[in-house]
Amino acid sequence: MVMMSVQTPGPDPQPTLEGGGRPPTADPARLDLAARRAAGALLLVIVAVVAVIVFWPGPPDPSGQSALEAFLRRQHERGLPDWISFGLIQNLANVVMFLPLGYLGALAMRRHNYLVVAAAALGSGLIELVQLLLLPHRVASWPDIASNTVGALVGLLLAVPVLRRRRKRRRQFLRGHRGAVDSDRRAARIARI
């Protein structure tokens, strides 16, 4: 008696990419849209907080500023280098204040993410103009504009790895699912989202 084995067809194996990996299962265009919307919502919150800080009629927390100056004076007497000054800390605070604007702004934009730096520079210039013309207890200065722009640039640079991963995920998805797309027009739409 001869036994024959019958192979039943199982589930089709998942397609693999050129590098051996599997294509992502979730549509990255939808994930990217959700991520951009979340970044945009957080960006609006940060913009509101920054607006309150920069348009406050007087310097934010004057007693804190004088306490910081007194602390730095004592530390200079104990050997802290003179280049660590109140002005340096104020400029670094401006950089840190605009860093999340650059980061979240780059993540919220679909294309031309670099424009977030130009928008930050223009916004900072507008802030300084308003402080100069309408807020007599505030000091408008060019170094503030430069510090804010540097902060947005650093934020953009920190977002670059996330943006690259997002683009790579989209390319892998399109490469792995190109056959399932019913038309070139639909594939182009998926790539644009």
Q: Where do the domains of the chain lie?
A: 28-75+86-175+186-192
Token pair of 149 as six digits: 């722009």
Sort 85 into a burial class: Cβ within 10 Å, 0-12 / 13-18 / 19+. Answer: middle
| pLDDT tens for the 193 residues of the chain, in order | 555 555 555 454 555 555 555 544 567 777 888 888 999 999 999 999 999 988 888 777 777 788 888 898 898 888 989 898 888 988 899 999 999 999 999 999 988 999 999 999 999 999 999 999 998 888 889 999 999 999 999 999 999 999 998 888 888 877 776 554 455 666 666 566 5
Give residue 148's pLDDT.
96
Handedness of CA 128, 131, 136, 138 (dihedral sign): negative
**Is pTM beyond 0.75 here?**
no
Query: ∠ CA 23-35-177 to the nearest 5 degrees?
Result: 20
Cα angle, residue 89 at apex, residues 122 and 144 outer, rounded to 5°: 20
